A and B are shown apart, each in its own frame.
Chain A
Amino acid sequence: MKKLKLVMVGNGMAGVRTLEELLKIAPDIYEITVFGAEPYANYNRILLSPVLAGEQTVKDIMLNDVDWYQENGITLHLGKKIAKIDRSKRIVIAEDGTTAEYDRLLLATGSNPFILPVPGKDLQGVISYRDIQDTNAMIDAARQYKHAVVIGGGLLGLEAANGLKLRGMDVTVVHLPNWLMERQLDPTAGKMLQKSLEDRGLKFLLEKNTKELIGDADDGKGGRVKAVRFTDGLEVPADLVVMAVGIRPNTTLAESAGLYCNRGIVVNDTMQTYDPRVYAVGECVNHRGTAYGLVAPLFEMAKVCANHLGNFGIGRYQGSVTSTKLKVTGIDLFSAGEFMGGEGAEEIVLSDPIGGVYKKLVLKDDKLVGACLYGDTVDGSWYFKLLREGRNVGEIRDTLMFGESNTGRPGDTGHEGFTKAAAMPDDAEVCGCNGVCKGTIVKAIKEKGLFTLEDVRKHTKASASCGSCTGLVEQIVMATAGGDFSASPKAKPMCGCTDHTHQEVRAAIKANKLLTIPQVMQFMEWRAPNGCSSCRPALNYYLISTWPHEAKDDPQSRFINERAHANIQKDGTYSVVPRMWGGETTADELRRIADTVDKFKIPTVKVTGGQRIDLLGVKKEDLPAVWQSLGMPSGHAYAKALRTVKTCVGSEWCRFGTQDSTLMGKQLERALWRMYAPHKVKLAVSGCPRNCAEAGIKDVGVIGVDSGWEIYVAGNGGIKTEVAEFFVKVKTHEEVLEYSGAFLQLYREEGWYLERTVHYVARVGLDYVKKRVVEDAGNRKALYERLLFSLDGEPDPWHERKQALVDERQFAPLTV
């Protein structure tokens, strides 16, 4: 097939990212030609500030060198500006007369700095701050001249000022509003930032309106700039004036081609302009009324655009929530959302001006809608996540201000700021789960040109497991690749096979009575024909939990442990944990265990934390015979299901015991075993408040008191210890069964796959759970009924293998 011609005008970050995405998914559709007005290949514009500050060089910030274009068969025209698009002939014409035909045209013309329309704006020494040329001009000026004035106290202006100061100039920042970065900071944080920059030797003139720039020619109207005069008559010396008062989407070319523009080239959700052959991405576009200047949204657009260009009719860009960070080394600053507050908003503020820490959180209807942090921004990404997800934070409101590590959510490792992340030695371990050091992450970011947390996860596995180092990894990405980078701003899809979230998939399965994995995949337009190892187990669980006795379990979509009904070990052998009701056993059971160990030469026997016995090192072929020899039920120690019910001795023997906790534990375990769930479920029952069964860190913990039982829920003893929260107090064993069962059924019906009870409850709020289970007796009974219905007839996979659909072939190896 003849290739279509794709021409890209503009060679910046958004455009080239689009090409990269396109080459990834459809490398063969297009013959690509790129026109760039600058004489450089693609570089990271965001990192111009560190270049100006002398912390990096132009070479460090190149993203794709000329070889990259060559390797990918892309024709690259550098230093050629497109003057005209002829849409009827479908050609573009450069200023030097070079032409190129297109079938699809991609405009990525970026933005232009806004130049104040004041007298003297064209004098020598008056520049904007946009590209490598501007940066070099500033570096040159710093060598020869003394006085610099930066007009504009926003993100870019301050970064420019900081860089010029570091290069030895005497720098004054002029700003019209009365605090700095007024689009990103509230007045308090703005003032603190000003103080900190003043300590570094920068000078500020706020609430000043520039009237004119004065030249060194006799009439003051020509030559090189020598001073700036304000409307109030004040005049300050200036040999260099940097205009950083904002950017305007560069739409000149698009407008001249008759494409509809309105503060940006207007595009739809698939990044097409009013001419569907012509796409536009990046700072030059206006999408749903917004022009973005930060990189994360641009990359989102790039992905969608590439998808559409690649003829995959999926993916829509629906706008982004953005956050800001200032790239001035040593200053930690973060803001996102509606940080100014306003009507109906409540503010939580922590202010320590001497210590240089200020934090403001803005809430509306128990949801975080804005955050402004200064001095300690380690929780910025966490707040940003809460904000994007629109999660109810009512439950954690009292500790919200103290950050993720203090709210009982899976936290970050160490409360270290951006500066500390940058200062960490390369051999410091960042991710404890996967043993990833900072150096490995930095190397991957630099060598592979990574931008996002997701990329870093994929390449290094850092923060890919428990996620507790996510904050730190984001800090490192920021420190290495530049600021503004953040995870995808939209709700997270289940996996790469779909754009749908867990919630959407669960809801669709229920609403449309989907009964098989292929049905779900077809209905929800899965991209991969049989999904992947991440979505299939989730779908299987959603189906069997939503439609018990109707949806058929699919063992091939289960992780090996649930397929073999044993835990795979690092050497490929398995471990076997038989069930011991309530942690009680008998001489007979122990004898059978001992005989089994001897007979099958099982190398290790270990007592577990859940009051059971683990037989380790069993060969897969031996599993059925081992189960048979044990003659005990499956302990489901391998499954996302009810594991154990741990108990203390209780009133039958203990001199302090007030309730028969062992009996209660056995009753719970007998009622709930074989219960599959989004994740593992652990229970414990203690007979008195001394709580020897450690019920405070279980998914459901029951504690006996004189007058009955207290039930606690959503505890966790794992990666991050979470103390269970008081749920309800009841009198009888039957009530304990009903309340616990109803709570677990709610979790089974609403939890996302691999979400523990603690995270489920954090997501929906304890109040909600109480409303459904404690306050609404009818609903509680209905939930409990549904649980019992689900469990009715559920086979023991060790002893009723046929009913449990265990594939026996897996235990029988083939031979040659």
Chain B
Amino acid sequence: MQPVWKSICAVDDIPVLGARVVKRSGQHDVAVFRNDADQVFALLDRCPHKGGPLSQGIVYGERVACPLHNWNIELQSGCAAAPDEGCTQKFSVKVEDGKVYLDVNELMGQTAEAA
């Protein structure tokens, strides 16, 4: 399916080394992260470990530390850094003219993780 990009917020609306939560109806939230190189990443806001809200974690490099048990999740892939194992769903992100876009089809799609 073709991506349908929708502007979610400006890059500057996300704190540097922080995150914002994107609410979805009937599905788990999505977290959008910004690192200090102004890269933006989007992951399902659930740690693969015990479902902790990753949006609330400390962001460093290209990782976020889950606030519940400090698993370190790669922002690029959504996968836990070794030795922990597990991945959370990642979402496509596009940044253009300082705006952050997510793919509506992907956001609305039913996913296994969102069960």
Contact = CB atoms under 8 A, between A and B. Distances in A.
14 contacts: A458-B83, A530-B35, A533-B58, A533-B65, A533-B72, A556-B16, A557-B17, A560-B56, A564-B56, A568-B68, A807-B18, A809-B13, A814-B21, A816-B102
A684 to B, nearest CB: 30
A522 B16 CA distance: 19
Nearest to B50: A570
B93 interface: no
A313 interface: no
Interface string B81-95: 001000000000000
Interface bracket on A: 20 to 34
Nearest to A459: B83
Nearest to B61: A528
Contacts of B58: 532-533, 536-537, 556-560
B33 to A, nearest CB: 11
B23 A529 contact: no
A531 interface: yes
Interface string B15-30: 1111011111000010
B24 A816 contact: yes
B68 A570 contact: yes
A810 B57 CA distance: 12
A54 interface: no
**Cβ-closest 8 pairs across A and B:** A533-B65, A533-B58, A560-B56, A560-B67, A572-B53, A556-B17, A813-B21, A459-B83
Contact of A816 (B16, B56, B67, B107): B107
Interface in B65-115: 65, 67-68, 70, 72, 83, 102, 104, 107-108
Given A564-B56, A815-B22, A530 B15 contact: no
B61 A809 contact: no
Contacts of A531: 60
Given A530-B60, A813-B23, A556 B15 contact: yes
Contacts of A807: 15, 18
Contact of B22 (A448, A572, A814): A814
Contacts of A533: 57-58, 60, 65, 70, 72
B67 A568 contact: yes
A622 B79 CA distance: 31
B6 to A, nearest CB: 6
A448 B85 CA distance: 14
Contact of B36 (A458, A529, A558): A529
Interface string A445-464: 00010000000001100000
Interface of A: 448, 458-459, 528-533, 536-537, 556-560, 563-564, 568, 570, 572, 807, 809-810, 813-816
Contacts of A530: 17, 35-36, 60-61
A814 B20 contact: yes
Contacts of B9: 814
Contacts of B51: 572
Nearest to B6: A816
Interface of B: 6, 8-9, 13-18, 20-24, 29, 32, 35-36, 50-53, 56-61, 63, 65, 67-68, 70, 72, 83, 102, 104, 107-108
A813 B20 contact: yes
Contacts of A564: 56
A560 B60 contact: no
Given A556-B58, A814-B13, 18 more contacts: A459-B83, A529-B61, A530-B60, A531-B60, A532-B60, A532-B63, A536-B60, A556-B18, A559-B67, A568-B56, A572-B51, A807-B18, A809-B14, A809-B15, A809-B20, A810-B15, A813-B20, A816-B22
Contacts of A815: 22-23
A807 B19 CA distance: 11
Contacts of A558: 58
B11 to A, nearest CB: 13
A498 to B, nearest CB: 13
A814 B16 contact: no
Contacts of B67: 559-560, 568
A530 B61 CA distance: 6
Contacts of A459: 83
Interface centre among B14, B32, B61, B102 (most CB of A within 10 A): B61
Contacts of B6: 816
Nearest to B104: A816
A770 to B, nearest CB: 37
A560 B61 CA distance: 18
Nearest to B24: A816
B94 to A, nearest CB: 14
A805 to B, nearest CB: 11
A814 B52 contact: no
A196 B57 CA distance: 55
Given A530-B36, A568-B68, A814 B60 contact: no
B72 A572 contact: no
Given A528-B60, A556-B58, A813 B22 contact: yes
B63 to A, nearest CB: 8
Nearest to A572: B53
Nearest to A557: B58
Contacts of B13: 809, 814
A291 to B, nearest CB: 34
A70 B83 CA distance: 23
Nearest to B32: A814
Contacts of A568: 53, 56, 67-68
Contacts of B83: 448, 458-459
A440 to B, nearest CB: 12
A560 B69 CA distance: 12
A556 B8 contact: no
A810 B33 CA distance: 12
Contacts of A458: 83
A804 to B, nearest CB: 15
Nearest to A533: B65
Nearest to A537: B58
Contacts of B107: 816
A816 B60 contact: no
Contacts of A814: 8-9, 13, 20-23, 32
Contacts of B14: 809
B95 to A, nearest CB: 15
A507 B72 CA distance: 29
